Structure 1
Amino acid sequence: MGRKFKDISIFLLTVILTISLTGCGASESGTSAGDGETITLKLGHNQPTSSQFHAGAEKFAELVAEKTESKVEIEVYHDSQLGDEGELAEGTKMGTVDISLVASGSVTKYYPRYSIFDLPFLFRDAEHVDKVLQGEVGELLAKEAEEKGGFKVMSYWESGFRHFLNSARPIESPEDLKGLKIRTPEWPVLISTTEALGANPVPMPFSELYMASQHGVVDGQEGPVFAIKSSKMYEVQDYMVLDGHTYTSMLLIMNPKKFDKLPADIQESLMEAAKEAGDYERKLIRDKEKEEIKFLEDTGELQIEKDPDKDAWRKSVQSVYDEYGKEFGEDLIQKIIDTK
């Protein structure tokens, strides 16, 4: 009996070791990455399915499937299903979220220098944005973000230029903002900009904004045109100004450890798909903006100031540059401003 018991024990141990070694082929998210099996990666964002964010994310999933011959599947989670932007950024850094689409301001807790993009009136127009972000500056910051921030920037997408709106009164100049409670994301530079313009910033997650506006917790908000339309903020706001006080870059980020564990050909395909999907999403944002402004004006019944005095707005926010210039690097700020 002793010999037979010993043989059974050896057999069971062999089985257990075999199962354990087989399990080593699984990804951290629990999806097998073995030969011939599909790798599944979860991508989260905070906007509804009607948004350009979602369209871009779906395009990314389509491109990844195409380029990897369906070896990789991207599951897209919208409407903050995997968390709001701050939670998505943290989850991606920690590895509980594979990929996320978040504003550059949402990762500054881990890599503060990305707040440089939040500086008011830093970018002249969309062409200027592309030359900076798709060029030397964008590459430098992405490299530093991986080394110092702990997340991999796969590509730059966009939310676009941001504008103020409220339910209290028309906004034609910075003075009209004074005293208004304005919801902002929890981004230090944008909070400072809102204060410099005389308003009272109320930081809160985007997912809470509609109800906060509906119940008067805030008088207004600021944000890009597409998000105002897709989230139906025109239902709870009456006045808008196309001031373009700041531009928000979106980052498609991935947990670097998960990325590094993937085969080289899969890594290359993911990066190619991320770049192409980013180009697609930015074009979508820009192409639809005039149509969306008309919708907000006609259907949404927003009263919109389309041609504010930008010089007056710029002068009102000079203190923000004084506050953050040294922290971000005055040479880098000037390099961005001088980019042609």
Structure 2
Amino acid sequence: MKKKFLASWLAILSATSLLITGCGSQQGAAGNTPAQADGRQIVLKAGNNQVADYPHSKIIHHFAKRVGELSNNRIKVEVFDSSSLGQEEELFQAMRVGSLDMGKIITSVAGKAVPSFQAFDLPYLFKDREHMFSVLNGPVGEKMLKELEEKAGVKGLIWMDQGTRNLYTVDKPVKAPADMKGLKIRVIKSPIMVDTINAMGGAATPMAYGDLYSSFKQKIVDGAENSADSVYYSKHHEVVKYFSMTEHFRTPCLFMISMKTWNKLSPEDQKLVLAAAKEASEWGKDLYQDEVDKLMGEIQKSGLQVIKDVDVEAFKKSVQPVYEKHQNQIGADLIKSIQQATN
């Protein structure tokens, strides 16, 4: 793990070195002052863990394009896709210390530095996609972004849809909590997510995502939980039979900028970056859902059975102890304000 982190850190430093030595340009990361009125180009680097044609990546590239257009190419955002600058945790830490200008993470990563962000890991927190975006783009979301700036040193620019996480299993269909009994379900190593799967009736089994395909084949686990696009791109539909629409998690992603970089930009350039972010958010707001709808059709063609008649209300009832356990750390008032927010 240390070797992997060192390799990613060296990649970030190498990219920074290349950008600094570019003719007639100045880098925005820590230790370098962006050009303002002297006409030299400001170059900002953005890390992304997804491939270039993934919905989130398309939004980031559109943002980079609009920054260039709005600034008459005086500001250039260079996007590094496919985890070339590290995984999300590494990108987040690099932004915090100022060695990376921009990056995209799932909000679970930020929860380690800002406990309120752990709210997004709670099961059935949002009623639907519209409710989620009304919270994120409303007063509650604005307050949380301010807290992110103060506690983590990064500024949120674009909220992104990550869809819902659903259960998928090798041999046994799941429609209700009783069906989960005895099933070993792979989960992210998140205390809330582990507690959720256990409360739903399964046996939560934290495991590296890359080990999951072989673990299905070897019967080490009986199932997992994730979004339809992850199932498709990881080819898990080749080794499981059932995909149950439990929709138990709806955890957003966030594209952000290091406050160290942000504070070096002029007020005019800050407004420009915010304008580009707003345009990119609106431009790409339906990209993820459109992709999921398409891929759901593809995995069904492969023979994966999608189970829609799930007793969601029973699952919601089963996870109430998760709220009771974690609400003090997250903030009971915050959870209540999210749940009561109107679309």
> For residues 132 and 78 of structure 1, what CA distance do their matches in structure 2 show?
29
Matched, 1:318 2:289: no
Match of 2:34 in 1: 33
For residue 164 of structure 2, what is the amino acid of its counterpart?
Answer: F
TM-score (norm 2): 0.84
Give the aligned length: 317
Task: Return closer, same or farther for 1:134/1:314 CA change in 2, 3 Å cut-off.
Answer: same
1:318 Cα deviation from its structure 2 partner: 0.8
Residue 154 of structure 1, aligned match among 153, 157, 163:
157
TM-score (norm 1): 0.84
> For residues 196 and 87 of structure 2, what CA distance do their matches in structure 1 show?
22
> 5+ unaligned residues in a row in structure 1: which ranges?
1-22
For residue 43 of structure 1, what is the amino acid of its counterpart?
Answer: A
**Residues 36-86 of structure 1: CA distance to partner in whole angstroms, max 9, x if unpaired?**
222222222222334212222221211221222212222222222222222
Task: Return closer, same or farther for 1:229/1:131 CA change in 2, 3 Å cut-off.
Answer: same
> For residues 212 and 114 of structure 1, what CA distance do their matches in structure 2 show?
31
Residue 307 of structure 1, aligned match among 309, 329, 336:
309
Contact 2:29–2:260 (CA under 8 A) maintained in structure 1:
no
Match of 1:173 in 2: 176
> For residues 193 and 173 of structure 1, what CA distance do their matches in structure 2 show?
14
Match of 2:255 in 1: 252
> 5+ unaligned residues in a row in structure 2: which ranges?
1-23
For residue 303 of structure 2, what is the amino acid of its counterpart?
Answer: E
Match of 1:336 in 2: 338
> For residues 216 and 74 of structure 1, what CA distance do their matches in structure 2 show?
45
Question: Rg larger in 1 or in 2?
Answer: 1
> For residues 30 and 230 of structure 1, what CA distance do their matches in structure 2 show?
39
Matched, 1:184 2:187: yes
Taking the TM superposition and a 5 Å limit, the aligned residue runs for 1:2-13 are: none
Percent of residue pairs bearing the same amino acid type: 34
> For residues 258 and 188 of structure 2, what CA distance do their matches in structure 1 show?
23
Contact 2:187–2:207 (CA under 8 A) maintained in structure 1:
yes
**Residues 130-187 of structure 1: CA distance to partner in whole angstroms, max 9, x if unpaired?**
1111101100100011112222112211212111112232222223333333332333
| SS of residue matched to 1:261 | coil
1:196 Cα deviation from its structure 2 partner: 1.3
For residue 338 of structure 2, what is the amino acid of its counterpart?
Answer: I
> For residues 67 and 335 of structure 1, what CA distance do their matches in structure 2 show?
37
Task: Return closer, same or farther for 1:74/1:206 CA change in 2, 3 Å cut-off.
Answer: farther
* Alignment RMSD: 2.5
Contact 2:136–2:159 (CA under 8 A) maintained in structure 1:
yes
| SS of residue matched to 1:282 | coil
Task: Return closer, same or farther for 1:46/1:28 CA change in 2, 3 Å cut-off.
Answer: closer
1:29 Cα deviation from its structure 2 partner: 6.4
Task: Return closer, same or farther for 1:148/1:133 CA change in 2, 3 Å cut-off.
Answer: same
**Residues 175-222 of structure 1: CA distance to partner in whole angstroms, max 9, x if unpaired?**
333333333233322222122123333335545554555555544322
